């Protein structure tokens, strides 16, 4: 009966030039990809849920909204950031030959150099504030790799890291550094990282990621360099991969627990001091207007499990020994100026899967690299 009623409504709208497709049941909707329900001319979707429906059927509401994210979020993110990654990669590569700043390719570690050593990685969750005292008291017993988001907090307490990990390609990275990092502290990053980093006087340790352009560079010029994989799609994933390739005995994560504290999602001085407040709206139910729903947030806990499953040997409870070696002394670093820019571009353009990565503007850039 309901189907006949809604069918009559949809036909009346079609007579006016509108197209309405009615689907009965969430299971039926989820049985096909989102593109199945949309016309080819549709390039943007804005879901609207009636406030009464959201209030009475909050579980179904969450399932519906999550399904939209799962189907399109990763794809949209890749499409959006792909242009930024490619632009940054080309810009950062060319800047290596123009700037006098020290940039080196991370190609491995010296044998047994990091045996019986501990690496501590600091994220920027609210719990980092409670763990600061422990880090300060035991600072001489481990190498400290700090995420750029945690940098502001730990430097406020006089804790200077051995290196800083920065992978974000956006301009927001500028806030995390903002002239507070001592010039001698190296930055671990990749070619698709923020271009601002490559203008800083700090040494850069450049690692190869799983991005196709990185893979080509490695295969052409640095065959022995490791690839830092990131199965968790989180900064801590790079830290785990880094510790694994250096063969540290143990890795300790601080400020990496994905728990909120009194509504706070990040520690202070991170730039993300956002509280999980309610935002009032006359059209949107309060059940879906939280900064981030608890159910969605709890899914992040699985990231820790992924990290521990990836390298269980690193997460041991063995006692730490006093650090007597500098982190940089154990790394094998190569000169990036052995890269032949034109050869790299030609190889990528000749490859069918990579040809579309470069715009005509990039291909017409006059060469600034002398062979």
Q: Kindly report, residue by residue over 151-199, the tens digit of the pLDDT.
A: 999 999 999 999 999 999 888 788 888 878 999 999 999 999 999 999 9
Last residue of a domain, one of 44, 76, 108: 76
- For residues 77 and 334, the model is more confident at 334
What are the beta bridge partners of residue 227? Answer: 208
Task: Note down the domain range covering 17.
Answer: 2-76
Residues 165 and 34 in one domain: no
Residues 135 and 34 in one domain: no
Taking alpha carbons only, the member of 24, 21, 26, 49 closest to residue 37 is: 21
Number of domains in the chain: 2
- For residues 267 and 319, the model is more confident at 267
Residues 45 and 126 in one domain: no
Is position 84 within any domain?
A: no
Range with the lowest mean pLDDT among 157-171, 178-192, 290-304, 356-370?
290-304
* β-bridge pairing 103-109 and 331-334: antiparallel
Residue 109's pLDDT is 96
Taking alpha carbons only, the member of 131, 178, 179, 187 closest to residue 159 is: 131
Residue 239 to residue 167: CA distance in whole angstroms = 11
Is position 8 within any domain?
A: yes
Q: Which two tokens stand for residue 91?
A: 């810009």
Is position 91 within any domain?
A: no
Residue 110's pLDDT is 95
Residues 274 and 223 in one domain: yes
**Virtual torsion, Cα 152, 155, 160, 165, nearest 10 deg:** 0
Residue-wise pLDDT for 18-72, tens only, equals: 666 666 666 776 666 666 666 666 656 666 676 777 777 777 777 777 666 555 5
Residues 215 and 349 in one domain: yes
Last residue of a domain, one of 42, 76, 110: 76
Residues 133 and 281 in one domain: yes
Residue 279's pLDDT is 46
For residue 289, is pLDDT > 60?
A: no
Residues 348 and 220 in one domain: yes
Burial of 118 (0-12, 13-18, 19+ CB in 10 A): buried
Q: How many CB atoms lie within 10 A of CB 241?
A: 22
Residue 346 to residue 197: CA distance in whole angstroms = 27
According to DSSP, residue 297 is labeled: H
According to DSSP, residue 194 is labeled: -
Residue-wise pLDDT for 309-349, tens only, equals: 777 778 777 767 777 789 999 999 999 989 998 888 888 87
Residues 351 and 244 in one domain: yes
Is position 83 within any domain?
A: no
* β-bridge pairing 187-189 and 204-206: parallel
What are the beta bridge partners of residue 290? Answer: 278
Question: Angle at CA 269, nearest 5°, toward 287 and 286?
Answer: 5
In the predicted model, what is the mean pLDDT of residues 212-241? Answer: 91
Residues 44 and 130 in one domain: no
Residue 271's pLDDT is 75
Residues 221 and 308 in one domain: yes
Given a contact cutoff of 8 angstroms between Cβ atoms, the answer to whether 251 and 154 are in contact is no
Residue 186 to residue 327: CA distance in whole angstroms = 10
Is position 86 within any domain?
A: no
Last residue of a domain, one of 76, 91, 126: 76
Torsion sign over Cα 135, 139, 142, 143? positive
What are the beta bridge partners of residue 189? Answer: 206
According to DSSP, residue 165 is labeled: E
Question: From residue 92, how far is each of 156, 159, 166 by CA, in Å?
Answer: 30, 29, 14
Taking alpha carbons only, the member of 7, 71, 2, 80 closest to residue 34 is: 71
Residues 63 and 133 in one domain: no
Residues 105 and 57 in one domain: no
């Amino acid at each position: 009966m309901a189907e006949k009623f809604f069918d009559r409504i949809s036909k009346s709208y079609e007579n006016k030039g509108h197209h309405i497709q009615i689907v009965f049941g969430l299971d039926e909707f989820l049985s096909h990809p989102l593109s199945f329900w949309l016309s080819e001319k549709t390039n943007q979707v804005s879901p609207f849920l009636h406030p009464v429906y959201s209030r009475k059927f909050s579980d179904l509401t969450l399932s519906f909204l999550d399904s939209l994210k799962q189907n399109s979020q990763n794809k949209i993110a890749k499409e959006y950031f792909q242009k930024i990654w490619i632009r940054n990669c080309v810009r950062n590569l060319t800047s290596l030959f123009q700037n006098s700043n020290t940039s080196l390719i991370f190609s491995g570690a010296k044998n047994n150099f990091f045996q019986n050593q501990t690496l501590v990685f600091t994220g920027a969750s609210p719990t980092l504030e409670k763990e600061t005292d422990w880090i300060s008291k035991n600072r001489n017993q481990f190498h400290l790799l700090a995420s750029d988001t945690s940098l502001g907090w730990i430097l406020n307490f006089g804790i200077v890291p051995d290196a800083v990990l920065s992978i974000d390609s956006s301009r927001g990275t500028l806030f995390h550094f903002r002239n507070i990092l001592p010039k001698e502290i190296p930055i671990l990053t990749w070619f698709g990282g923020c271009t601002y980093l490559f203008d800083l006087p700090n040494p850069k340790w450049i690692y190869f990621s799983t991005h196709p352009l990185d893979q080509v560079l490695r295969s052409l010029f640095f065959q022995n360099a490791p690839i830092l994989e990131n199965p968790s799609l989180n900064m801590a994933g790079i830290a785990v991969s880094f510790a694994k390739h250096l063969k540290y005995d143990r890795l300790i994560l601080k400020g990496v627990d994905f728990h909120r504290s009194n509504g706070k999602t990040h520690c202070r001085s991170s730039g993300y001091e956002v509280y999980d407040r309610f935002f009032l709206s006359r059209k949107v139910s309060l059940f879906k207007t939280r900064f981030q729903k608890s159910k969605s947030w709890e899914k992040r806990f699985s990231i820790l499990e992924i990290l521990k499953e990836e390298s269980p040997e690193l997460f041991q409870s063995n006692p730490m020994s006093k650090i007597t070696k500098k982190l940089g002394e154990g790394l094998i670093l190569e000169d990036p100026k052995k890269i032949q820019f034109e050869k790299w571009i030609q190889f990528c353009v000749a490859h069918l899967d990579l040809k579309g990565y470069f715009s005509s503007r990039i291909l017409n850039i006059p060469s600034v690299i002398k062979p």
